[in-house]
């Protein structure tokens, strides 16, 4: 009838060297675990902090509920606490700071990566990084005693003349307020945003820059694209 054929399967030599390859990749796996463990520990630490805060605030949450976030009165004598003004001030000052710092930081990063020469770029980069070394309390004191009077006398009147129809720039001018806090926050976060943007711009392949210039784009068009 039919003949039975014997099929022989040849084991590749790579499989025979599997154990030796595993031995060679042992340090890689060890390093992977060495990096993975701190990452998991960081997540667990954040969860532990959140659980700790929630557990210690459970009585406040049970007593006030969400009225703590929506209330506007802060009267410790009457045991009445409302955090809405503090939350509103934090959000508004942060938005002002980001609105001022983001375009300035991106401009500084573009200048350092695309325009400035080597020596000038190092000097400007060093000065920008020095801003990150100034303690926040120094920024706060400088904002109260130097920046706030200058804003009250020079900047806020000019802004009122141009944007007086907005409640944010209405009179009276106190100097110390949301605008001053936003400017101080902008100065504080410029080094962080500039350094991140600088790293992003630096990893763009040089070939793409040269290709854009070769196609007739100006340097500004090359940076914008």
Instruction: Provide the pLDDT for residue 1.
Output: 46
Q: How far is CA 116 from the centre of its chain?
A: 24
Instruction: Provide the pLDDT for residue 184.
Output: 92
* 191 contact partners, CB below 8 Å, separation of at least 6: 128, 129, 131, 132
Instruction: Provide the pLDDT for residue 153.
Output: 85
* pTM summary value: 0.69
- Residue 191 exposure: Cα atoms within 13 Å on the Cβ side: 13
Region for 216 from its dihedrals, namely left if φ exceeds 0, alpha if ψ lies in -120 to 50, beta otherwise: left
Sign (positive or negative) of CA dihedral 140, 145, 146, 152? positive
Question: To which residue do tokens 């784009």 refer?
Answer: 217
Written as six digits, the tokens of 28 are 């890689």
Q: What is the C-alpha separation between 138 and 147, in angstroms, rounded?
A: 12
* 61 contact partners, CB below 8 Å, separation of at least 6: 54, 68
Mean pLDDT for each 10-residue chunk of the chain (225 residues)? 51 50 66 84 94 87 78 80 84 91 90 82 84 87 89 83 75 79 91 88 83 83 76
User: In b/e form, how buried is each residue of 92-103, taking b as 16+ CB within 10 angstroms?
Assistant: ebeebbbebbee
């Amino acid at each position: 009838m039919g003949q039975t054929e014997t099929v022989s399967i040849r084991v590749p030599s790579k499989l025979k060297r599997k154990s030796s390859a595993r031995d060679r990749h042992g340090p890689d796996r060890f390093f992977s675990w060495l990096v993975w463990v701190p990452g998991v520990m960081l997540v667990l630490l954040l969860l532990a902090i959140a659980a700790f805060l929630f557990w210690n605030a459970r009585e406040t949450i049970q007593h006030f509920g969400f009225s703590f976030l929506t209330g506007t009165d802060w009267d410790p004598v009457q045991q009445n606490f409302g955090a809405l003004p503090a939350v509103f001030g934090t959000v508004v000052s942060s938005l002002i700071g980001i609105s001022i710092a983001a375009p300035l930081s991106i401009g500084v990063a573009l200048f350092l990566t695309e325009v400035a020469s080597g020596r000038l770029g190092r000097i400007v980069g060093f000065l920008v990084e020095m801003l990150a070394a100034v303690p926040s309390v120094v920024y706060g004191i400088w904002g109260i005693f130097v920046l706030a009077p200058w804003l009250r006398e020079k900047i806020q009147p000019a802004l009122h003349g141009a944007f007086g129809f907005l409640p944010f720039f209405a009179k009276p001018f106190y100097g110390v307020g949301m605008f001053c806090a936003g400017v101080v926050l902008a100065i504080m976060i410029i080094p962080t945003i500039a350094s991140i943007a600088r790293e992003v711009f630096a990893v763009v392949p040089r070939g793409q820059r040269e290709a854009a210039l070769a196609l007739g784009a100006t340097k500004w068009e090359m940076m914008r694209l």
